[in-house]
Structure 1
């Protein structure tokens, strides 16, 4: 392997380049990162690699130094790396540490799809969940689900139906589970069901009703928040919620719920009576069979933790 400094100096002399440029190239030739790379990959490089790769060596060192100095290069957010290509040196541009962190954060956000959920849930973390006595069962149930789901994501896993008074942390726990799953590479969808029901009703007669429904019912992990908070029309109950639950039961897809109602109350006081006042116990029972198949009921107790 020829001497880096000598080869580049010969090249400069042959091409009758300016003194300043020669000085720059002489500095580049002595760069420790360049010489170390060449020594490491010597067996894969051509004998005259230094002469033939002079321009790439210069590009690498100058662009790298710009990045270190905090200056922009032509590939913003990226930094140069030496590589071997066809027995010569070449330069590849890879994401900087900052760019990688931004990309990772973006990918994480993309794995948690939220529909009509408050922005505050984005900060929900299991580490910050106060798993005191009244909420310990729900916390342990969430942890058990995460472990079993991640061990066997294609098997059936019964999720949680979180019930309890307003403000005890049901939505927060769902969002924290979603974040943990996203961190571990799994996608979730959180939907505030009363708001979603309004969105579906407003979409009647327009394109997209079927697409909206498909996106919810086919989510790998679905979290239906605040079910029972508002009165349900027969259409929302049967043709929206019923379709979602039927599909997810048949496909054995994990489905969480949160509600101020217990399962018994949801059936008797909410699903059974339509907005028109019709009493339809069989339809309510049918829906509850699917909910009980998909999730087990866990009661969360405690005081209202939301700001007053």
Structure 2
């Protein structure tokens, strides 16, 4: 094959320098591995006819290894068999595949006023000390969602003291769901409540709540920490939860208050501004339909 290639190049009156480069390319270990693996698929004159492709492959590979900016970043050359002949294609590198997967996962998570730490939250490395029940419930939820993403799965109401990792677990759940192609929206509820009050002035309340209430998976962080407002309770929270209950959409919560304490807060009696237990109970009926209460224990990990 080498002699035949040399004869072809002689007939074409190619320079000795170019002839040597092509011959060296054909002798390259990666090329030889390709030729051996595809011996039964290649035409008898495939190497001769594909010499330019082989040379391009070796040259592009070496330039890529040297960090040549002219080579498309994230792609590497690969020899392929096409109709019995040798051709070259460019495929994504393992690094680019990993980067693309990470970017795709990030696009599935909408985080509104949430801490940056949730981006790296991983359910597989979540410390289960004093939080075993919460971790087990989280794994059950993500497993159920992965197996039947269009079914209703009761969410979690994670309650416990400040700093025990409730919000971090929400982030871990969101990241785990994203691995299975499931989108989620996380929002810091106290900030959201303030934004909804501001939205009254430009009549954008309905538009802003519409996207939230229809999220594939909604995670409401720190409910009960907002400034008490009958309007936010009745015109925002109740509307969102009513829609999600009717449509059976998975919903999760975190709160420093347990469900009983949240009931008192929503009634207004805790602040002394009102006493509306019936309205509070209606909200809590929706919360209980959507999520089960799980206590998260342990020390304040933010100060560890």
CA gap of 1:270–1:129, structure 2 versus 1, over 3 A, is: same
How do 1:295-306 residues align onto structure 2 when only pairs under 5 Å count? 295-306=291-302
Alpha-carbon distance in structure 2 between the residues aligned to 1:57 and 1:76: 21
5+ residue gaps in structure 2? none
* Alignment partner, residue 114 of structure 1: 111
How do 1:258-297 residues align onto structure 2 when only pairs under 5 Å count? 258-272=254-268, 277-297=273-293
Alpha-carbon distance in structure 1 between the residues aligned to 2:109 and 2:267: 28
1:23 aligned onto 2:20? yes
* Alignment partner, residue 54 of structure 2: 57
* Alignment partner, residue 236 of structure 2: 240
How do 1:115-134 residues align onto structure 2 when only pairs under 5 Å count? 115-133=112-130
Cα shift at 1:93? 1.0
CA gap of 1:127–1:74, structure 2 versus 1, over 3 A, is: closer
Judge which range, 50-59 or 69-78, deviates more: 69-78
SS at match of 1:137: helix
1:213-258 deviation digits (Å, cap 9, x = unpaired): 3332222222100011112434432332222212211221211101
Cα shift at 1:175? 1.6
* Alignment partner, residue 33 of structure 2: 36
User: Is the 2:228–2:268 contact (alpha carbons within 8 Å) kept by the matching residues of 1?
Assistant: no
Pairwise CA RMSD: 2.7
The TM-score normalised by the length of structure 1 is 0.87
How do 1:48-127 residues align onto structure 2 when only pairs under 5 Å count? 48-127=45-124
Alpha-carbon distance in structure 2 between the residues aligned to 1:55 and 1:232: 74
SS at match of 2:301: coil
CA gap of 1:305–1:60, structure 2 versus 1, over 3 A, is: same
Cα shift at 1:282? 3.1
Alpha-carbon distance in structure 2 between the residues aligned to 1:30 and 1:214: 64
User: Is the 1:121–1:175 contact (alpha carbons within 8 Å) kept by the matching residues of 2?
Assistant: yes
Cα shift at 1:205? 5.0
* Alignment partner, residue 200 of structure 1: 196
5+ residue gaps in structure 1? none
1:45-85 deviation digits (Å, cap 9, x = unpaired): 44433333222111111111222334344211210011223
